[in-house]
Amino acid sequence: MACNASKAPFMRAIAKRGFASNQCPRPLGQAAEVQTTVLNNKLVVATADASLPITRVSIVLRAGSRNESYENQGASHVLRIATGLSTKDSTAFAINRNIQQIGGTLSSTSDRELVTYTVETTANQIETGLRYLQALVQPAFKPWELTDNVPLIKYQVAAVSPRERAIELVHKAAFRTGLGNSIYTPKHQIGKLSSESLLHYVANTFTPSRCAVVGVGIDQNTLSGFAQNLDLQTGSGKSDSATYYGGDTRKDAAGVVAHVAVAGQGGSLVNQKEALAFAVLQQAVGAGAATKRGNINGSFGKALQGAISDAPASFATLNVSYADAGLFGFVVSADSQHIGKAVDALTRALKSGSVSSNDVNRGKAVLKAVLLESYATDSSLIKQITLQAVHTKQVHSIDALFAAIDAVTQQDVQEAAKKAGSSKLSVGAVGNLANVPYASDLA
């Protein structure tokens, strides 16, 4: 007997939408070819045109926290918070109401290098979505709206997890300024950034040469026309090159657990071969368990298990590549009695510089699986397009990336491991630090 619920028009509409969603095309990474165009003003446009129910478009700018000075620390965090606030052409009410009316979303993310604005709408409503996405590159920073958002900034700063704070501190120890700047507003800066200082920051970073416009499920010509009409700034937009120093930064906190990040120099995106070698190394030394509650293969996992097999601990391999620098190491959490042994064991594994051929082959296989997953859906593909377009002004196909991974040799991976292990190490630590060794002790 048929369910009476299906007789209701509303429930039938839900059923139809569910059936339609199951009739999806092949994985996007196989179905759509990415096209890339560099406009006359050096702005990059990249699209993956495919028949999709949802269209996603992002404006990505090299305006992350590395571009902040001491006086305007936290500016990129405020940019992330200010998405949806009033712009020069639209009020906050108009932006929120119109985006909600078309069933879309308007969001932003930021890190040490990039600030990204993204709109997601159904394909037939993308024109309205693009109109309000375009408005975001012309923020107004009205003083009363900035004041209203101070509690939200305080909450986000307070909500940073200890492990994430350890990663922030290891960046500070490694680079001091630039890439050492936190992606969160320092407590002494909360509520101190004026509209004038924020507008000055935008004028220097929201420029065509530092921008890329990427889309999934939209025509290349349509997106190129949208990109040409963006009202971007004309500032110099220069960034200081990163300098690696190494050292120690720590923050005591109550409790019995310590969170420690240790890293040496990693690979930069400028050197693609080196960056891929570090990506393979990350999987080879043990980036994560392949099965639920399983052991982590690789030298890092074995080192931690051998050091404190009788105590609970967790670790993750740290590998971040920026435009001109990088970090490679680990983050480990354990109680204060065992954290010293854990850090020593993982540091010895980091400094050994030895990676077997079996580990390299496994690392390549896992890295390929990770890339396939990132190219398989529109929500993850747009992130891949964004990173490649803004940093290299081109987007590689999955086949080209696979060929580049296959070209990485065991010697390349070992050289990457030696670069990280032989450099002056950086340490960022949070928690009960009584038994946490200093960077000088790990030399």
Sign of CA dihedral 115, 121, 125, 128: negative
Query: 48: which 2 tokens?
Result: 């993956």
Tell me which residue of 384, 371, 395, 380 sits closest to 283, measured CA to CA.
Answer: 371
Cβ(129)–Cβ(119) below 8 Å? yes
Q: How far apart are CA 177 and CA 240, in angstroms?
A: 10
Cβ(209)–Cβ(237) below 8 Å? yes
Rounded mean pLDDT of 258-276? 94
In DSSP terms, 249 is beta-bridged to 428
Predicted confidence at residue 23, as pLDDT, reads 42
Q: How far apart are CA 376 and CA 372, in angstroms?
A: 6
**Domains and their CATH numbers in the chain:** 28-228 (3.30.830.10), 247-442 (3.30.830.10)
Cβ(360)–Cβ(276) below 8 Å? no
- Residues 6 or more apart whose Cβ sits within 8 Å of residue 37: 44, 45, 46, 220, 224
Rounded mean pLDDT of 324-349? 94
353: phi > 0 → left, psi -120 to 50 → alpha, else beta; which?
A: left
Cβ(298)–Cβ(305) below 8 Å? no
pLDDT digits (tens, 9 = 90+) for 416-440: 999 999 999 999 999 999 999 998 8
Tell me which residue of 263, 259, 262, 261 sits closest to 335, measured CA to CA.
Answer: 259
Instruction: Output 290 or 56, whichever has higher pLDDT.
Output: 56
Rounded mean pLDDT of 110-128? 94
Tell me which residue of 143, 121, 141, 124 sits closest to 132, measured CA to CA.
Answer: 121
Q: Give yes or no for residue 154 having a pLDDT over 90.
A: yes
When pLDDT is cut at 50, 70 and 90, the band that residue 64 belongs to is: very high
Weakest mean pLDDT among 29-33, 181-185, 213-217, 328-332:
29-33
Predicted confidence at residue 4, as pLDDT, reads 47
Q: Give yes or no for residue 393 having a pLDDT over 80.
A: yes
pLDDT digits (tens, 9 = 90+) for 75-90: 999 999 999 899 998 9
Residue-level length of the chain: 443
Cβ(58)–Cβ(121) below 8 Å? no
When pLDDT is cut at 50, 70 and 90, the band that residue 11 belongs to is: very low
